[in-house]
Amino acid sequence: MSNVLVLPVLIPLCTAVILFFFKEKIRLQRGISTVSGLLNMITAILLVSRVHKEGILTLEMGGWAAPYGIVFVGDMFAALLVMMTAVVSFAVLLYSFQSIEEKRERFYYYPFFQFLMVGVTGSFLTGDIFNLFVFFEVMLISSYALISLGGTKLQLRETPKYLLINIVSSTLFVAAVAYLYAAVGTLNMAHLSQRIAESGQGGVLNVIAVLFLIVFALKAGLFLFFWLPGSYSAPPPAVRALFGALLTKVGLYAIIRTFTLMFVNDPGLTHTLIAWLAAVTMILGSLGAVAYKDLPRILNYNVIISVGFVAFGLAAGTENALNGAVFYLLHDMLAKGLMFILGGIIISAAGTERLSGMGGLIKKYPLIGWMFFILTLALVGIPPLSGFAGKVLIIRGALDAGMLTLSLIALGSSLMVLYSLIKVFRLAFWGNEPETELPKVNLRGATAVAAVLVILVIAMGIGADYVYDYVAQAGEVLATPDIYIQAIMKE
Amino acid sequence: MELLVALAIGVLFTVGVYLVLSKGLLRILLGTTLITHGVHLLLLTMAGLKTGASPLLGEKAEAYVDPLPQALILTSIVISFGVSAFFIVLAYRAYRSGGMDDVEGSKGERR
């Protein structure tokens, strides 16, 4: 039975429903969330190992055969992302126990958290384009709730913007689905891929492809990221970590899935467009990361740079580059989760978000300082750490495809990541302590969570060979969509 | 028939976009509603507006209209209904707390 495929969606869904009944019992809520988080990780790991052994798993909902019913598809790419989601969100959950105030916890923080997980994992696993829209909405509506929960002035100011951008992009998504349905008359992704290939992806389908690109780029922060730096500064650090690690990655996943499975017949147009969008994203993201002097914004612009980097890997399109994109995406979910958790720890340790108000934290918090340093090196892609393998694969694949200028831009953006994060490290941890006294906070638990993630980052870098085994299996499906189609259409 | 409806959808989109680009939060809200209407009509139209019986097997007709887009629209309607409700309450809350009902006044990078 491949019912294991639906468990990563079902477990958080049931947990969320159960949690609604215990509004005032915060300890119980935490306990249930922890258990479900652990369960979720176990099933995700099981899923990955099963996909590794048996190839692509499919689950036809209600027993209706492929193009007529909704299919859940677990290929290696989706399975790896589901696993990483489970790991990162569990870490963020543990961090939430320490950093979210009781006031917020009482108002359904944990149920919203679980619903966000439902949306994210569902988006990864579904094989139907309209179902993808629905899971996007599940994810977005929970993110609206999480971003505004608490109702501070900043949150109330930023949420309407975030909401408006996402309403517009969702309506565009529906419009794109409508056009696509009119053009080819199906909604199942594998079937869509077949029909688009049959019709040869003419003018209309290219327009639809670009419309999908706009929709997903709005969600992922690829070039159309103007909403991101402001919106992601509004919620509390734990929610930021969740958003930074997961939300944009779902948009990226959708771009990668759409342009490796469905719209693959005219790469000269679509993939060139993605390449330039990626380049502009990396450049603008770098400018933002260098320009600002408050911590949340620097971190937010770093999210944007990495979105550009993964999209660049997709645009290069060679098997190496696709493997690299998968690897980098996995690394980035982990590292961005860690980055925002560390950012949150630094902010609560220093009592301010402005870098100019920080200094000398290394004396009091040496462990946090060095963890931030290791994270910086990992994000830049220094060899023994997790960011290296992905970057090398993407750059090598891009050079194979003859994209020299863009590769140089990508490498330059790594330098800017280094500069911006080292600036944080230098200003926050070295230098003189500010005159104002540091707030007294207990950061032991949060530090432990961050330490585990740091160990994972290091392990993923050292064990890159082992990880590559799985990544290559994911990349193979992305490079040859026929494998995916065969698994679902079963002819 | 499709042409006429397409024109109507175009008008809905135009008015919607115009409203979304205006200052007041309520006008923006109305704009999103109009765009959503346009998109739902678009779904209905793109599947074809051929004549046929309504999709009920009891009708025992030769041909039925395509049932799939109707299901999609129904799904999309409830989703956008939920989101709109949230948006309205949020706008109300923002108005109550800051006395702001236009987006120009909600600029400001710093708290």
Instruction: Express each pLDDT in A354-384 by its tens digit.
Output: 888 888 888 889 999 999 999 999 999 988 8
Rounded CA-CA distance A75/A326 in Å is 13
Residues in chain A closer than 8 A to B28 (CB atoms): 160, 164
State which residues form the domain around B12: 2-106
Q: Is the pLDDT of residue A59 over 80?
A: yes
pLDDT band at B99 (very low <50, low <70, confident <90, very high): low
Decide if A130 contacts A96 (C-beta within 8 A). no
Domain membership flag for residue B87:
yes
Nearest CA in chain A to B21: A164
| pLDDT tens profile A311-321 | 999 999 889 99
CA distance to partner chain B, nearest, from residue A307 (Å): 23
Nearest to B79 among A137, A160, A163 (CB): A137
- What percent of chain A has a predicted confidence (pLDDT) above 70? 100
Average pLDDT of the residues of chain A: 92
Give the torsion sign (CA, A335, A336, A339, A344).
negative
How many other CB atoms are found less than 10 A from the CB of residue B102?
Answer: 14
Q: What is the rounded distance in angstroms from the CA atom of residue A329 to the CA atom of residue A349?
A: 30
User: pLDDT band at residue B50, thresholds of 50, 70 and 90?
Assistant: confident
CA distance readout (Å), A88 to A41, A241, A331: 10, 9, 11
d(CA A17, CA A29): 11
CA A79 – CA A96 distance, rounded (Å): 25
Q: Structurally, how many domains does chain B consist of?
A: 1
CB contact under 8 A, A153 and B97: yes
Report CA torsion sign: A8, A336, A369, A231: negative
Q: Which residues of A touch B (CB under 8 A)?
A: 130, 133-134, 137, 141, 144-145, 148, 151-154, 156-157, 159-161, 163-164, 167-168, 170-171, 174-175, 177-179, 181-182, 187, 230
**Would the pLDDT of B106 be above 70?**
no
Average pLDDT of the residues in B55-64: 89
Q: What is the pLDDT of residues A176-235, one digit of tens each?
A: 999 999 999 999 999 999 999 998 877 899 999 999 999 999 999 999 999 999 999 999
The answer, yes or no, to whether residue A267 has pLDDT greater than 90, is no
Chain B partners of A170 at a C-beta cutoff of 8 Å? 79-80, 83
A58 membership: H or E segment, kind and range: strand A57-60
Alpha-carbon distance values, B42 to A2, B1, B6, B19, B69 (Å):
37, 13, 7, 19, 10
- What is the C-alpha separation between A258 and A264, in angstroms, rounded? 8
Residues pairing with A294 in the sheet: A354
Phi and psi angles of residue A46, each rounded to the nearest 5 degrees, phi first: -60, -45
CA angle A167, A170, A173 (to 5 degrees): 155
How far is the C-alpha of A159 from the C-alpha of B87, rounded, in Å? 9
Neighbour-count burial of A475, counting CB atoms closer than 10 A to its CB (0-12 exposed, 13-18 middle, 19+ buried): buried
Residue A431 Ramachandran class (φ > 0 left, ψ -120 to 50 alpha, else beta): left
pLDDT at B111: 38
- How many Å apart are CA B28 and CA A304, to the nearest integer? 27
How far apart (Å, rounded) are the C-alpha atoms in residues A177 and A130? Answer: 7
Nearest Cβ partner for A164 among B28, B40, B42: B28
Please check whether residue B111 lies inside any domain of the structure: no
ipTM over 0.85: yes
Residue A147 has pLDDT above 70, yes or no: yes
Query: Residue A100 is part of which domain span?
Result: 3-489
Counted domains in chain A: 1
Which tens digit of pLDDT belongs to each residue from B7-30? 999 999 999 999 999 988 889 999
A vs B: CB pairs below 8 A: 97
* Statement: the pTM of the whole predicted model exceeds 0.90: yes
Closest CA to A306 of A329, A272, A274, A289: A329
- Which residues of chain A are within 8 Å of residue B80 when distances are taken between CB atoms? 167, 170-171
Mind telling me how many Å the CA of B94 is from chain A's nearest CA?
A: 6
- Kindly determine whether residue A181 and residue B106, on different chains, have CB atoms separated by under 8 Å: no
* Phi, psi values for residue A227, rounded to 5°: -80, -20
- 8 Å CB contact of A156 and B20: no
Segment A66-90 shows an average pLDDT of 94
Average pLDDT on B75-98 reads 91
- What's the start-to-end Cα distance of chain A, in Å? 20
Give the residue from A147, A149, A157, A205 with the most B CB atoms within 10 Å of its CB, the best one to mutate: A157
